Structure formats: C-alpha cells, structure tokens
A and B are shown apart, each in its own frame.
Chain A
Amino acid sequence: AQSVSQHNHHVILSEAASLELGCNYSYGGTVNLFWYVQYPGQHLQLLLKYFSGDPLVKGIKGFEAEFIKSKFSFNLRKPSVQWSDTAEYFCAVMSGNFNKFYFGSGTKLNVKP
C-alpha cells in the first residue's frame, strides 16, 4: 500500500522567513502529486499539482514544489511567508487513473507577525 510521510508536524516561522515542508511517498509507479492547504475554518484547497514535465511546479500564492523522483519526494517551498499563510498543509499522492488519493498527516504552519 502507498504511504505519504510529512516529517514536520508543526512549524513556527516569523514573517518573511523561508519555508520548506517535506513530503515523501512510497510508490514505484507513475504518480500524480498534490499539495493542499486548509486555512482555519475553511475546506481543503489545491495549492499546486504535478503530473508530468518540469519537476519544479509553481502554484498559487507564491508556493512552489519540486518533484525529485529518485528521492520519492515532493517538497513544498515559499521564499517569504506571510501571516496569512498560517494553515495546515497536506501532501497527497494519486496513483494510476483512479482518483484515489493518499494523504500525509499534515503540517501545521504558524506564521508569527
């Protein structure tokens, strides 16, 4: 069975600091990769996704992620975080064509103003 690991459970940063959230998955076949964000009191929203092509993917709100196939990783980055980035971030992997998602346990990001 697939698994998705998010190593950082809780991250606290000051505004303007750089962010990198780790995500590793276990699956040897073709995968599609996603980062979702859940702002306080809101539902899950897509930040960015990777299906093929350029392994560096840019998403909304200045976020980007890099797919490194050899490391089974899809880390999320942002050069300079804002207080409004305070949220929980979930990495997800979809295998094959069946729209079945495997989610990591999430990382809570707290940005101090």
Chain B
Amino acid sequence: DAGVTQSPTHLIKTRGQQVTLRCSPKSGHDTVSWYQQALGQGPQFIFQYYEEEERQRGNFPDRFSGHQFPNYSSELNVNALLLGDSALYLCASSLWGISYNEQFFGPGTRLTVL
C-alpha cells in the first residue's frame, strides 16, 4: 500500500518563475492538504482540496493555487516566485469529514528560489 508520494524531490527556480508540485494521496484517501515548512519552522497550512474543490485556505496569497484531479491527486502551483517561497512543501492526505482522522504526510518537495 503506497503512502503519500510527492514529486519532484528537489527543485531550483529563479525569482519570478512559476512552479508546479505534485502529490498522490495514500490509497483510499480523498482529501489532500498542502503545507509550507520554512527552515526551522513547523508546517504552515496552505489549502485543502476535496472533491476537486478548495475547501479551506490558510493565510497565503493568491500566487498559491491548487488543483485536485478525479483520481484525488493534487497539484500546488506557485506563481511569481519570491526568495521567501524557498521551503519544504508537504502534502498530506486524509479522509474527509472524519473528526478522529489523522493526516499522512509525504516526504515533501524542497523548493529553492534563487
């Protein structure tokens, strides 16, 4: 049973560019959440997708957008990259609507913006 997978593992971009990160949830999960983990910080919630719709959003600008596909996989897009966007981006999957649910995390994508 595959867990949460993310691609790519590492990515280097320059300021102003756009980036797309990908996530496949754990088998049986229907909800995907994205987090940004800056160096020395805990993960910060970006947004959450269920049934191909953004259901919740954290305190991130509109440059951060996402998508969920019918197979529950998800993409995170970041436009007009800034140096401060350099971080580990984590994807987590879970089951929607179950209050005792835990989130399963992927290994993350390390984004470096130069």
Interface residues of A (CB under 8 A from B): 4, 6, 32, 34, 36, 42-46, 49, 51, 90, 92, 96-106
Contacts and interface: CB of A to CB of B under 8 A. Distances in A.
Nearest to A38: B105
Nearest to A106: B42
A36 B90 CA distance: 14
Interface string B17-55: 000000000000001010100001111110010000001
A43 B96 CA distance: 22
A44 B45 CA distance: 15
A106 B31 CA distance: 25
18 contacts: A32-B99, A42-B107, A43-B4, A43-B90, A43-B107, A43-B108, A49-B100, A49-B102, A97-B99, A98-B48, A98-B56, A100-B48, A101-B33, A101-B45, A101-B103, A103-B43, A105-B40, A105-B42
Interface residues of B, number: 30
B9 to A, nearest CB: 11
B94 interface: yes
B55 A44 contact: no
Contacts of B104: 46
B44 A100 contact: no
Given A43-B108, A44-B90, A99 B103 contact: yes
B101 A105 contact: no
B106 interface: yes
B40 A44 contact: no
B61 interface: no
A6 B114 CA distance: 31
Contacts of A104: 42
Given A90-B42, A90-B43, A104-B42, A46 B102 contact: yes
A96 B108 CA distance: 26
Contacts of A45: 105
B6 to A, nearest CB: 9
Contacts of A44: 43, 90, 105
